[in-house]
Amino acid sequence: MSHRADATMPTSTNQRERSEAMHNRAARSLVGGVNSPVRAFRSVGGSPVTVHSAQGAHVRDVDGNRYIDFVGSWGPAIVGHAHPSVLEAVNDAVSRGLSFGAPCEAETDLAELILSALPGHDRIRFVNSGTEACMSAVRLARAATGCDLIIKFAGNYHGHADAMLVEAGSGAVTHGVPTSPGINAELAKATLTCRYNNADDVRATLARHAGRVAAVLVEPVSGNMGLINPVDGFLETLRELCTAHGALLVFDEVMTGFRVAWGGYQTICGIEPDVTCLGKVIGGGLPAASYAGRAELMDMVAPVGPVYQAGTLSGNPVAMAAGLATLKLCRELGFYESLGQTSTDFTARIAELARHHGHAVQTESIGGMIGVAFSDRPLLDFQDAKACDHERFGRFFHAALDRGVWLPPSGYEAWFVSAAHGPDEIDQAITALDAAFESQAGARRASSAPAAATSRSRSLARSPSGCEEKRASRPVSRLSRLRATASRLFQQTRPHGRWARSSKSSKRPCLKSGSILPSTATRTWPPRPPRGLPSPRCPSGPTRTTCSCVRVRQPKTPSNAWCMVMKTPIHCSS
């Protein structure tokens, strides 16, 4: 089932002069030197690596360096790069012509195979990218319901169509543009954003806009703000709410389709969406995507119905051949069981390495996807993902790259495991990541809570209605939770206050007013705070308040408080 290139020990690959020269050359003709933003390494720093070839579980750059690959072309390479069966199918298709602009047998073969894996889906339309699939699904939903509003979730990424870039994840948030310039303001108003894993937020939003919501669009497993699994009951509640309000439930399984299970995550959770968007794996490494649904819905699409959508290269014979060959390999007995076990074992070993070296790391895995986040608490939504230590991930990324392990160049991306990652590749990767963690041991933040690396499986029980109740029971200190909350609130309030800080000044802002406090307030106590309690004057409590200071038990100085963002005692009138 798997195929692997020769298993040699990863070596230092920090000599990449040709890659740097190639990037400098590319930057003179390509925007940013790349054709997709996340490839530019802006999130992790440094110069992008230019790939020359890929085989099995490895990629090789133009300098001749060889890496164990956990990017997998961002998901499509589930059977490994350049699998012989896929190459044979592609070569056969190429010999008969690259594109016809007319129906071909391969597109029908692939359509029948995909639909056989998706219960409740009768028709499918092939397009060329996940962006096209999600954009077309939204158009279909609006036409079918006669409504104009769409609900999506903060941190979910559904391509770069205008309506979908509102609080998007993946490369959009990596580059600081979760809502991109150039989007019509009125169009943006038609996209409503809810918190992922918070069914109560969706329930309230649907109630406020009763009769106006066309669809709820969701990644059933989020892979664009790290890897975040749905809490138990979340997707079931979405199905119930959509049915009750007459809105379509659209599963964006561009990433998870045929990656986490045969068909996708919907075959694991047992929930049937109205429309499913697919991509990545179904093209076998070539541009192909699709959207599918029941017959009465999909028959609204032209030429049968009035909803227009077309594409010159949609269903082209070469991409269909690659996808068909890939899915036939995935259909083999035991394929997903083996792939899932590899991912589970790999993430457990990563968590153990992080724990050994004193890093606070959270890991997730499902099927052929894994997530590794530098955080002291599990991730449930976009706010948790943004609160991770992305600077530390950047250092870890380069430490791994220099040791022959190719990771996604952003802490907001999932990692991908393929059938070509055998025991030798995993052992070599663990050896390299062990050294990478060790090299970062001295760079841990002094303010972090005691490191607690955690590896979670899909069976972890969570609250379907929200995140706060479950977070209260996590094995993380109360002060650590308050510090993380204050950090997020500080980022939200920062534009409203002025932060005057220099090497000669020890002034700090009050998180409540944004005003600069006297520097004498920073010299009251020792550099480490005593264990504190939430301020009794903060009416909203520690999780929802504009004042995030901790009142410290100090009888002689009761008016002093500890600023959890700046790690300094301050005078606070809250």
Residue 51 has pLDDT above 60, yes or no: yes
Amino acid at 502: S
Active site residue: 252, 384, 389, 402, which one?
252
Residue 202 has pLDDT above 70, yes or no: yes
Residue 511 has pLDDT above 50, yes or no: no
Active site residue: 67, 201, 274, 280, which one?
280
439 vs 528, residue with greater confidence? 439
Residue 508 has pLDDT above 50, yes or no: no
Task: Enter the tokens of residue 543.
Answer: 């999780």
Q: Are strands 369-373 and 508-509 parallel, antiparallel or unpaired?
A: unpaired
What's residue 341's pLDDT?
Answer: 97
Q: Please give the model's pTM, rounded to 2 decimal places.
A: 0.75
Report the range out of 23-32, 180-189, 466-475, 506-515 with the highest average pLDDT: 23-32
Task: Enter the tokens of residue 565.
Answer: 């963002």
Exposure of 282 in the CB half-sphere (CA atoms within 13 A) = 39
Element (H, E) at 357: none
Q: What is the pLDDT of residues 321-339, one digit of tens each?
A: 999 999 999 999 999 999 9
| Known catalytic residue at 280 | yes
Residue 245 has pLDDT above 80, yes or no: yes
Task: Enter the tokens of residue 14.
Answer: 């920090």
Query: How many whole angstroms from its chain centre is CA 323?
Result: 24
| Known catalytic residue at 345 | no
Edge-first strand listing for the sheet containing 415-416? 415-416, 369-373, 362-366, 454-456
Query: Any residues with CB less than 8 A from the CB of 486 and at least 6 apart, and which?
Result: 511, 548, 549, 563, 564, 565
540: β partners: none
Q: What is the pLDDT of residues 538-553, one digit of tens each?
A: 333 333 323 333 333 3
Q: What is the pLDDT of residues 153-189, one digit of tens each?
A: 999 999 988 777 776 544 444 433 446 677 777 788 8
Mean per-residue pLDDT of the chain: 80
When pLDDT is cut at 50, 70 and 90, the band that residue 15 belongs to is: confident
What's the CA gap between 443 and 350, in Å, rounded? Answer: 18
Q: State the chain's maximal CA–CA distance in angstroms.
A: 86
| Known catalytic residue at 424 | no
Q: Are strands 568-571 and 560-563 parallel, antiparallel or unpaired?
A: antiparallel
Q: From 131, 90, 147, select the one nearest 323 (Cα to Cα).
A: 90
Q: From 60, 41, 75, select the one nearest 409 (Cα to Cα).
A: 41
Q: What is the pLDDT of residues 120-155, one digit of tens each?
A: 999 999 999 999 999 999 999 999 999 999 999 999
539 vs 107, residue with greater confidence? 107
Cis amide bond preceding 534, omega within 30: no
What's residue 486's pLDDT?
Answer: 54
Determine the Cα angle at 117 with ends 114 and 118, to 5°: 90
Q: What domains appear along the chain, each with residue ranges and CATH number?
A: 17-81+340-448 (3.90.1150.10), 103-330 (3.40.640.10), 477-571 (no CATH)
Contact 239, 269 (CB under 8 A): no
Active site residue: 63, 67, 69, 157, which one?
157
Contact 346, 423 (CB under 8 A): no
Residue 467 has pLDDT above 80, yes or no: no
What's the CA gap between 223 and 226, in Å, rounded? Answer: 5
Cα-based distances in Å from 567 to 192, 445, 548, 562: 36, 12, 12, 7
Residue 408 has pLDDT above 90, yes or no: yes
Contact 123, 147 (CB under 8 A): no
What is the pLDDT averaged over residues 403-412? 96
